[in-house]
Amino acid sequence: MPAGGSERLGQGEDMDRTTDTARPVDGRTARRDRNRMAVLDAVLELFAEGNLDPGVHEVAERSGVSLRSVYRYFEDLDELVTAAIEQHFQRTRPLFEIDRLGEGPLAERVQRFAECRVRLFDAARTIYRASRVRAANDPDVQRDLLATQQWLADQTQAMFAPELRALDEPECTDTERTLDVLTQFDALDHLRHRCGLAHDEAVAYLQRILHRLLSPV
């Protein structure tokens, strides 16, 4: 995105003024939906290739959709990228859930949690990095990013609530903070890429650390 603000997509172009209620369900509508999805997929492909701040012309070229059509689907670059990020999170949303939070023996919960959290990170890491880039200049993305981080923290605390309840203050607070540091996407990104751990290695590392942190002395 240019430093001066949003890159306007629709300036000077004729916008599609057909309302949802008036638009017939026909081949034209289906084609429009397919093209819009192709544009979003193109953004995600560029993200995956390391281009975390793609331009509109790059997106149009990758998607095979004309620039004029892209202009009709999205008001500006911010809206386009935000829609792509949301599309990806919708696709990965089932991976965010962990069954039976806080239930079962600690060893079993640690295993389930570590496997689920690393699998989720591997599915969401590209879009998470893109969100980090855009959050500096896009309040909506920043809000969603902070909400995701808080959701992950709450899930971690719920998973290990029995152990946390057994601790006195301030040890409980310290342990909650340590858990958050260890299990957020930034930490997993560091393990997978800075430390070079494979998926299974990252899972095993996380399991060992959580056992040490949460097992009774």
> 106 pLDDT exceeds 50?
yes
Query: Which residue is associated with the tokens 């289906």?
Result: 30
Question: Which residue, among 159, 130, 102, has the nearest Cα to 45 in the 3D structure?
Answer: 130
Q: Give yes or no: residues 41 and 141 share one domain.
A: no
Indicate if 6 and 103 belong to the same structural domain: no
Percent of the chain with pLDDT over 70: 88
Which residues, 6 or more positions from 44, have their beta carbon under 8 angstroms from its beta carbon?
A: 84, 87, 88, 126, 127
Per-residue pLDDT band for 30 (boundaries 50, 70, 90) equals confident
Give the residues across from 8 on adjacent strands.
76
Average pLDDT, integer, range 72-77:
87
Which pLDDT score is estimated for 111? 97
CA torsion 88-90-92-94 (nearest 10°) is: 180
Instruction: Give φ, ψ of 15 to 5 degrees.
Output: -90, 155
Q: At 10, which CATH number?
A: 1.10.357.10
Mean pLDDT of 29-37: 88
Decide which of 22, 57, 92 is a domain's last residue: 92
pLDDT higher than threshold 80 for residue 7:
no
Among 75, 92, 109, identify where a domain stops.
92
User: Which among 137, 148, 127 is positioned nearest to 47, based on CA atoms?
Assistant: 127
Residue ranges making up the domain that contains 136: 97-214
pLDDT tens-digit profile of 189-214?
999 999 999 999 999 999 999 999 99
Judged against a pLDDT cut of 70, whether residue 23 lies above it is answered with: no
pLDDT at residue number 91? 86
Bond prior to 170 in cis (omega within 30° of 0): yes
The tokens for 205 are 């590392």
Asked if 120 and 209 sit in the same domain, the reply is yes
Contacts of 64 (CB under 8 A, 6+ apart): 38
3-state helix, strand, coil in the chain (%, to 5): 70, 0, 30
Mean pLDDT of the chain: 86
pLDDT-derived band of residue 141, with 50, 70 and 90 as boundaries? Answer: confident
Residue where the block lists tokens 């008036």: 22
Q: Which residue has the tokens 């202009």?
A: 71
Compute the distance between CA of residue 29 and CA of residue 208 in angstroms, rounded to an integer.
53
Residues 142 and 197 in one domain: yes
Return all residues near 144 (Cβ < 8 A) that are at least 6 apart: 85, 86, 131
Using 50, 70 and 90 to split pLDDT, how confident is the model at 186?
very high
Please give the tally of structural domains in the chain.
2
Q: Indicate if 78 and 124 belong to the same structural domain.
A: no
pLDDT at 215 over 50: yes
In the structure encoding, which two tokens stand for residue 116, read together?
A: 């689920």
- Rounded to the nearest 10 degrees, the angle between the axes of helix 171-183 and helix 199-214 is 180
Residue 47: C-alpha distances to residues 41, 89, 107, 134, 172 (Å): 10, 14, 36, 12, 38
pLDDT at 171 over 70: yes
